[in-house]
A and B are shown apart, each in its own frame.
Chain A
Amino acid sequence: MYLESSYKIRDKYLRTDMLPTMFCPGCGIGSVLQFTLRSIEELGWKQDEVVWVSGIGCSSRVPGYVNFDGLHTTHGRALAFATGIKMANPDLKVVVFAGDGDMSAIGGNHFIHAIRRNLDVTVILINNFTYGMTGGQVAPTALKGLKGTTAPYGNFENPFDISQLAVAAGANYVARWSVFNYVQGMNSIKKALQKKGFSLVEFLSPCPVSFGRRNRMKTAPELIRWYQKITVPISKAKKMSPEELEGKVIIGEFVDRDRPSLDEEYERYKERAKKLMGWEE
């Protein structure tokens, strides 16, 4: 893989007047942002045809740093706002940057319904297993036993597997990697961006300050090592029993299909309406 110089990516895509970012040392969001910008660069997309949308959270601050149109909305609602943008102007390409809490807790319902409709957006999801912005409360993605300020003795709830949820709800493209898997990650982002319909790329992404500190992993390298321990490639996972997969996170590409997207369906719906009403032959 040929990589453009980081300076070029920075100068072209970041809003220098919005820097520095608010991200903590060791945070993985910057890496995922870089993957996304590099993917856009490689695809040759024009900045003016892409809108970045987000909810609330650390991950959701990303649209503020990039030189695109951006809508930083309310906690959990990014996909509902994105629905309005995409449907009102289907020529726009929409990238949604989200945290795991944003997308699977408060925004869970918008998430499954945007997928059900096959809204043509790409969601880049930062899964840090926690609520980073508000200081390390447990998120619905938190694996059992992980600590957060609202489950100080270790999480007693079952976690959501966001990627599997997206597959089940009908997404066209779903993949999950850790930030460490940057080649696969970037390839997946490129595929996702090009995909008509709903696409999701989930990244396990270190949050040493809010999450790691509370789980005996104070630095990003420790978190990355932990990811290596808990992640299982999908090919290998297929040969493992449910017991063996307990507490593991499967990584890889989960689905790649081409169901018609919401805006395509709506175009046909308009034609049908006009025919039924005798407005058009």
Chain B
Amino acid sequence: MRYPFSVGRSDFIQGDEAIARAAILAGCRFYAGYPITPASEIFEAMALYMPLVDGVSIQMEDELGSIAAVIGASWTGAKAMTATSGPGFSLMMENLGYAVMTETPMVVVDVQRGGPSTGQPTLAAQGDVMQAIWGTHGDHSIIVLTPATVQEAFDMTIRAFNLAEKYRTPVVLLTDGEVGHMRERVNIPDPDEIERIYRKIPKSKEQGKYPFRDWDGDGVPPMPVFGRGYRAYITGLTHDERGKPKTVEAEIHESLIRRIVDKIEKNKKDIIDYETFDLDDADVAIVSYGIASRSAIRAVKILRKEGIKAGLLKLNVVWPFDFEMIERIAERVNRIYVAEMNLGQVYHLVKEGANGKAEVELIPKIGGEVHTPKDIIERVR
């Protein structure tokens, strides 16, 4: 397999570009998008690469169309992705729910910018966290990854595809304009060394007839591929295991939705990913993620030098959320600070997790600039 960029070596590229290359290396062969700052560079890279690797890159008429095309492509067996920013992400919400309900693997990248509305197109924010988790209507669960560096943007894109395929679910790669546009070194592995997961497909025609039956007991039904004789019928209406609309039967709705939620919530251990810095003996914990966590790391280093026992929990996945871990941390520390580029989103999750065992305080930041280490230090000191 020939790649349109160099592999097996490092390069100095933007986060957006890293996401595009990682997608291609993960096996993504369908991209549909609509231009929007600061995500357009992902689309532009895909437009350059896809035709060369016999994939598809297409510019749709809007973001509703982009995500719809991606879902359609996924049902033909393709790994597929779209990328956008706030306004487009808002437009995608209905079909994101469709992907949840129909258990369609796909990756949506949201390169966050300041909002609401058109907001600050060129500046970074982390204001879409709750939208990524809860933006589509109805009960559900979803996976949301938050890279903080260009290397993480690359690695988490590959992971996003693997999680999407493994759990037959949409995955949101929630990054921001700062990571999207910054350049850093990325180690692009040898393609043979990349772990790639592919969705389970039905083992028989009979299995294929039941696109929503949990044959293996892991909550993840094998997914038929259109055109291979399974004659699958897929609907966003509440459906039974056969796919037949069953819109008034409470038990059917409950068992479907519970399975869709459980396949993620019960696999939290596998999905959740985080890092800690100096947290073990800390008196104060800072919780942060994405670009803001980089300022938090610096803040911790400086605070430690000043003799303040600060530590950091850096979340790489903001949903599913490990409330129990937060409680364990809360039991050990006096106070938890949440540093994020919004007026409090993950803060509420942390507060719930802390369960009153420690004070939880928000270190917010809006306007487009990343927190400076000082912004954090002054609050903690």
A residues neighboring B (CB under 8 Å): 15, 17-18, 47-49, 51, 53, 61, 63-64, 67-74, 77, 80-89, 91-92, 109-110, 113, 266, 269-270, 272-274, 277, 279
Cross-chain contact B233 with A63 (CB below 8 angstroms): yes
Contact B244 A64 (CB under 8 A): yes
Q: Mark B222-242, 1 if CB is under 8 A from A, else 0.
A: 001011111111111100001
Instruction: Compute how far the CA of A60 lies from the CA of B159 in the bound complex, rounded to whole angstroms.
Output: 36
B54-89 residues with Cβ-Cβ distance < 8 A to A are 54, 56, 58, 60-62, 64-66, 68-78, 80
Question: Which residues from chain B contact A82 at a C-beta distance below 8 Å?
Answer: 72
- A273 contacts across to B, CB distance below 8 A: 51-52
Whether A70 pairs with B232 at a CB distance below 8 angstroms is yes
Contacts of A61 in B (CB 8 A): 245
Q: Which residues of A contact B76 (CB under 8 A)?
A: 84-85, 88-89, 92
By size class, the interface of chain B is: 35 or more
Rounded to whole Å, the gap between the CB of B22 and the closest CB of chain A is: 20
Q: How far is the CA of A74 from the CA of B98 in the complex (A)?
A: 7
Whether A17 contacts B227 by the Cβ 8 Å rule is no
Interface residues of B (CB under 8 A from A): 2, 4, 29-30, 32, 51-52, 54, 56, 58, 60-62, 64-66, 68-78, 80, 94-95, 98, 224, 226-237, 242, 244-245
Q: Which residues of A contact B70 (CB under 8 A)?
A: 84
CA gap between A72 and B98 in the complex, in Å: 10
Q: Is the CB of A69 within 8 A of B227?
A: yes
Interface pair A74/B233, CB less than 8 Å apart:
no
Provided the pairs A51-B226, A266-B56 are in contact, do residues A84 and B30 lie with their beta carbons within 8 angstroms?
yes
Query: Are A80 and B65 interface neighbours, CB within 8 A?
Result: yes
CA distance A74 to B72 in the complex (A): 12
Is the Cβ of A88 less than 8 Å from the Cβ of B68? no
| Closest B residue to A271 using CB positions | B51
- Interfacial chain B residues near A87, Cβ < 8 Å: 30, 56, 58, 69, 73
Shortest beta-carbon distance, A15 to chain B, in Å? 7
- A–B pairs, 8, beta carbons within 8 Å: A48-B231, A70-B233, A72-B245, A81-B68, A84-B71, A84-B76, A87-B58, A266-B51
Q: Is the Cβ of B231 less than 8 Å from the Cβ of A81?
A: no
Contact B51 A274 (CB under 8 A): yes
Other than A83-B58, A88-B78, A89-B227, give 14 A-B pairs with Cβ distance below 8 A.
Answer: A15-B233, A51-B227, A69-B230, A69-B232, A73-B71, A80-B68, A82-B72, A88-B29, A88-B30, A89-B77, A92-B226, A269-B51, A274-B52, A277-B52
B256 vs chain A, min Cβ distance (A): 15
A48 in complex: contacting residue of B29, B227, B234, CB < 8 Å: B227
The answer on a CB contact under 8 Å between A18 and B30 is no
A71/B94 in contact, CB under 8 A: no
**Chain A interface helix/strand/loop/mixed:** helix
A110–B58 Cα distance when bound, in Å, is 14
Question: Given A64-B244, A71-B72, are A77 and B227 also a contact pair (CB < 8 Å)?
Answer: no
Shortest distance between the CB of A70 and any CB in chain B (Å): 4
Structural contact, B61 and A74, CB atoms closer than 8 A: no
Residues of B within 8 A of A47 (CB): 231
CB pair B51–A81 under 8 Å, yes or no, is: no
**What residues of A have a CB within 8 angstroms of the CB of B77 in the complex?**
88-89
A72 near B32 with CB under 8 A, answer no
Distance between Cα atoms of A84 and B227 in the complex (Å): 14
Contacts of A84 in B (CB 8 A): 30, 32, 68-76, 80
* Nearest chain B residue, comparing its CB with the CB of A63: B233
Bound CA span A29–B205, Å: 30
| Complex contact A72–B235 (CB within 8 A) | yes
Q: Is B61's CB under 8 angstroms from A109's CB?
A: yes
CB-CB under 8 A from B236, the residues of chain A are: 72-74
| Given A80-B72, A84-B69: A69 touches B224 (CB 8 Å cut-off) | yes
Question: Which of B231, B233, B234, B244 has the most chain A CB within a 10 Å cutoff?
Answer: B233
By a CB distance below 8 angstroms, the chain B residues around A81 are: 68-69, 71-72
Using known A-B contacts A72-B237, A73-B98, determine if residue A85 contacts B244 with beta carbons closer than 8 Å: no
Chain A residue nearest in CB terms to B56:
A87
Contact partners of B68 in chain A: CB under 8 A:
73-74, 77, 80-81, 83-84, 110
For the complex formed, measure the closest distance between the CB of A96 and the CB atoms of chain B, giving whole angstroms: 11
Contact B2 A80 (CB under 8 A): no
Q: Which residue of A lies closest to B69 (CB)?
A: A84
A residues in contact with B32, CB < 8 Å: 83-84
Q: How far is the CA of A277 from the CA of B58 in the complex (A)?
A: 19
Expressed in whole angstroms, the Cα–Cα distance for A110 and B72 within the complex equals 14
